[in-house]
Amino acid sequence: MLPDTTTVKARWARVQENLRAADVDAMIVLKPQNTFYLSGYTPVIYSHPALVVLPAEGEPVFVLHALRAHSSRRVSLITDIRPYGRWAKEIGPDHWWQVLADVLAERGLAGGRIGIEGEFLPHNHLTRFAETLPEATFVDAGQALMRARYVKDAAELESLRVAAAVADAGMDAVLAAVAERRSEVEVSAAAMRAMQDTWATRYPDRIAIDFGNLEGGVFNSLWAYSLVGDRVPMNSAPPTDRRPVDGEIQWTVIWTAIDGMHTENERSVAVGRLNAERQAAFESLLAITEEVTPHLRPGLSCADVYEAARAAYRRHGYGDYLPGRVGHGLGLGPHEQPSLGPTDDLVLAPGMVLTIEPNLRIPSFGGLQHSDSVVITETGFEYLTTTRRDLIQV
């Protein structure tokens, strides 16, 4: 579900606490996922910049093009909306930076320490900030916001559960299509049709869109792609008319976003009887996953989970095929922090949502991978996606 005012104000407070701890007076937020997190509103297409100004004390301001004024006033939980440009009878200053200067001057912050999203902010925007606010000092405060996003609130978790249910429906269609020896394109299309139907019939009141950019929007966020055999190591590639033959493994990736919140469901399927090498690899990967998942619990770090995976890969004879990580964060991004990798010391806490996806990429036949979305609980973890996780053979 979309957040309510109480939920969004709690988000502001978490970020503001982090800003104050970093001695930052205000933050200028442009990343679409972050402006949505703070407002509950997305213009979908970001061809005109949308900025949230979040002071370390007090309520935020939303700076949007006049084109978005009507829709943002209906949806946004930030009520102080300042349009720029012109659209019909909605008229504001010509440029967003003029509005930005006015907002910070009103708050007495034009010469303050201003936080920016260092990992995201385009260079030309930073240059414009410096020209507009010549007395300000700019510091990277991206992690102040990202840390607030690590633990999901009740609204986010509820949306994630719906997204997972839609993904599961898509994977049910995948398993049926692979059993019929359908091509990569046909399997992908079957998954997306099933997800569209599930959304329309079971969750028609939910929003199934993703975050756009300066050149376009994503109006549908229920998608899948499938790869066969030696195409699996391509990892992210458009599906083709390639069909599996007996003895190959077909791998399908499903991503869904409901109300902006992403889940992931990936499955490898053995088509017919596997040879000894592929059978052993599949069985070993399932065993590795079983040995890693008990480490998904509060108090252990992401690096601890990865080290458990490293030991399991070596025990099963696949140490040379250890991936760079065995999972990643989920939320407003399909691949967001943290990473279940060797250098991430973030300690897991209840409410964090991640994938768990040990995998093998073996040149002699391709590769295989199951991936599930999970939420860390008080005592361990809970699967959000529920598709069968065994050696699936059709």
Mean pLDDT calculated for residue range 187-207: 97
21 and 84 inside one domain: yes
Asked if 54 and 16 touch (Cβ cutoff 8 Å), the reply is yes
User: Could you give the CA distance from residue 236 to residue 287 in angstroms, rounded to a whole number?
Assistant: 25
Total-model pTM: 0.95
Phi, psi of 93 (to 5 degrees): -55, 155
Same domain for 116 and 161: no
What backbone torsions phi and psi does residue 56 show, to the nearest 5 degrees? -65, -20
pLDDT on residue 335: 94
- Percent of the chain at pLDDT > 90 equals 95
Residue 216 has pLDDT above 90, yes or no: no
Q: What is the pLDDT of residues 94-129, one digit of tens each?
A: 999 999 999 999 999 999 999 999 999 999 999 999
Closest listed residue to residue 354, CA positions, set 376, 370, 322: 376
pLDDT of residue 25: 98
- Is pLDDT at 213 greater than 90 in this prediction? no
* Residues in contact with 46: Cβ distance below 8 Å, sequence separation at least 6, in sequence order: 32, 211, 212, 213, 214, 217
- Determine whether 94 is exposed, middle or buried from the number of CB atoms within 10 Å of its CB (0-12, 13-18, 19+): exposed
Q: What is the structure's pLDDT at 3?
A: 87
Token code pair at residue 383: 């699967």
The SS3 assignment for 119 reads coil
Query: Is the model's pLDDT at 2 over the cut of 90?
Result: no
Other residues' Cβ atoms within 10 Å of the Cβ of residue 312: 23
The token duo for 158 is: 């509820």
Residue span of the structural domain in which 167 resides: 151-383
State mean pLDDT over 77-85. Answer: 97
Q: At residue 127, what is the residue type?
A: T
Is 389 inside any structural domain?
A: no
Residue 167 has pLDDT above 90, yes or no: yes
Mean pLDDT of 320-334: 97
pLDDT at 217 over 90: no
Quick check: 256 and 167 in contact, CB under 8 A?
yes
pLDDT band at 188 (very low <50, low <70, confident <90, very high): very high
Confidence of residue 90 (pLDDT cuts 50, 70, 90): very high
Domain shared by 134 and 186, yes or no: no
**47: CATH:** 3.40.350.10
**Same domain membership, residue 221 and residue 202:** yes
228 with 180, same domain: the answer is yes
φ, ψ dihedrals at 212, nearest 5°: -90, -165
The pLDDT, as a whole number, for residue 212 is 87
> Which pLDDT value is given to residue 215?
84
Burial (Cβ within 10 Å: 0-12, 13-18, ≥19) of residue 213 = exposed
Q: Are 346 and 321 in contact (CB under 8 A)?
A: no
Total domain count, the chain: 2
**What value does the mean pLDDT of the chain take?**
96
Which of the residue ranges 42-51, 175-184, 248-257, 385-394 would you say has the lowest mean pLDDT? Answer: 42-51
Q: Which residue has the tokens 């040879």?
A: 275
Residues 345 and 246 in one domain: yes
